[in-house]
Structure 1
Amino acid sequence: MQGGSVRAALSAVPLRFWLALGTLVLGVLLGWLVRIVTRRLLRRAGVPGAIEGTTFERTAREFGTSTVAILGAIAGYFVFGIAVFAAIAVAEIEYVAQFWNAVAGFLPQLFLAVIVLIVGVVLGDKVELVVSERFRGVKLPQVNVLPLVAKYSVFYLAALIALGQVGVATAALIVLLAAYVFALVFLGGLAFRQLLSAGAVGAYLLLHQPYTIGDEIRVGEVRGIVQEMDLFVTHVEADDEEYVLPNDKVFADGFARIRT
């Protein structure tokens, strides 16, 4: 008797609700599968090694996860979200369906915006590490700002792209980007005058080579053996001391090559 009442209750449930439930179950399975596949693809692409040491990765590790796991989870939740919308549409729940149909058009843009922001943060951290490594040998105080400028430039571009994905007016984004580039060039020109001058002189010295490594030179009060020279500075060793001379100072003060 009880079994018959249960069957009668189940048979009274419209078919569309069973289809909606099946859609949700399928969404859970597909979301789980996409999550695993995304993580494996990112690992095979070498993403964990490429982002090792970045701030975002270190923060993720502190919370017991990783950048790859976060991206995989987002991809899985995105698939599950699509399944939820599909289930609601199948169930034909009038008012709820109207609301979720309006949201469904916004979901892909939101998903892309989140992915762009995460990739932008990770890429910005990586660019900071690369720039720091490239300019490690340059002993000018202004150089310490370059990694941060490169990092936040990537952050800014990622934020603009993400805002564009969620419907912010493109014209406004272009104006913001133009203002940022102008400020970067203007302020950078003021802050890095010495660096730019040293680089220009360094290019001249490297091309014409008026002195090379091993030569003994005198620049102002400094006299010693050239140990190293690059685009920005010249290293001169004298009496157990190493002088790091900006190339623009070498050019401005003049130098003398000591003949032996």
Structure 2
Amino acid sequence: MIELRTPAEIEEMRPAGRFVADVLTRLAAEAAVGVNLLELDALAHEMITQRGATSCYIDYHPSFGAMPFGKVLCTSVNDAVLHGLPFDYRLRDGDLVSLDFAASVDGWVADSAVSVVVGRARPEDARLIEVTTAALDAGIAAAQSGSKVGDISAAIAAVATSAGYSINTDFGGHGVGRTMHGDPHIPNNGRAGRGYPLRPGLVVAVEPWFLQSTDEIYTDKDGWTLRSADGSRGAHMEHTIAITDDGPIVLTARG
């Protein structure tokens, strides 16, 4: 079911957005050579506790997950692009890591992701992150009242295809509110002018993710982490936004 939020409810969602943004800003700064993925997850857990927030991930067990997630942060490194289950791994120079985090504050959820390179970035990795960021910006810019979900999808796809990346539509954006995942689904490819109307009060996560040389993925033996079929690297960017008459509000804006 798709729910529309009142202006007052969107204001109530702002603290969740700010908290998620602050956590990702801190984690991105802490992601350095030698830092363990479990240390990043522990830091996110500590920040959740200090804020009195609730993790959206730790007990999450959808049909595509082998078991409850068990951690509070997704850490996808190099050929992993989504749902990366933190494990005992120390980041190395040149690693591309995507950090995906969602939490509930006062009953409202926000969801966001960012990709960074640890240490020295390879040119192809820097380009992948740049294109994925541009696709996120384009998707948000297309999220105007009176438009359609397909307008967001088409805007994201136009950036990806112009850069030579193919697109997987198995996972994409989604509604956000009292829970982390809701309707409507927002694929990263679609036809402009098609799909659910974007109305004031609709709150969604827009989340482009691309792989360097494939759109095929498989699930790692950990039962969660999604990796590229050919070993190429991936990047993932995401913001929670609210549709208003005056344009989209980015609830998880960082910085």
| TM-score, structure 2 normalization | 0.26
| Higher normalized helix content (fraction of residues) | 1
Greater RCO, CA 8 A, separation 6+: 2
| Higher normalized strand content (fraction of residues) | 2
| TM-score, structure 1 normalization | 0.25
Structure number with greater Rg is: 1
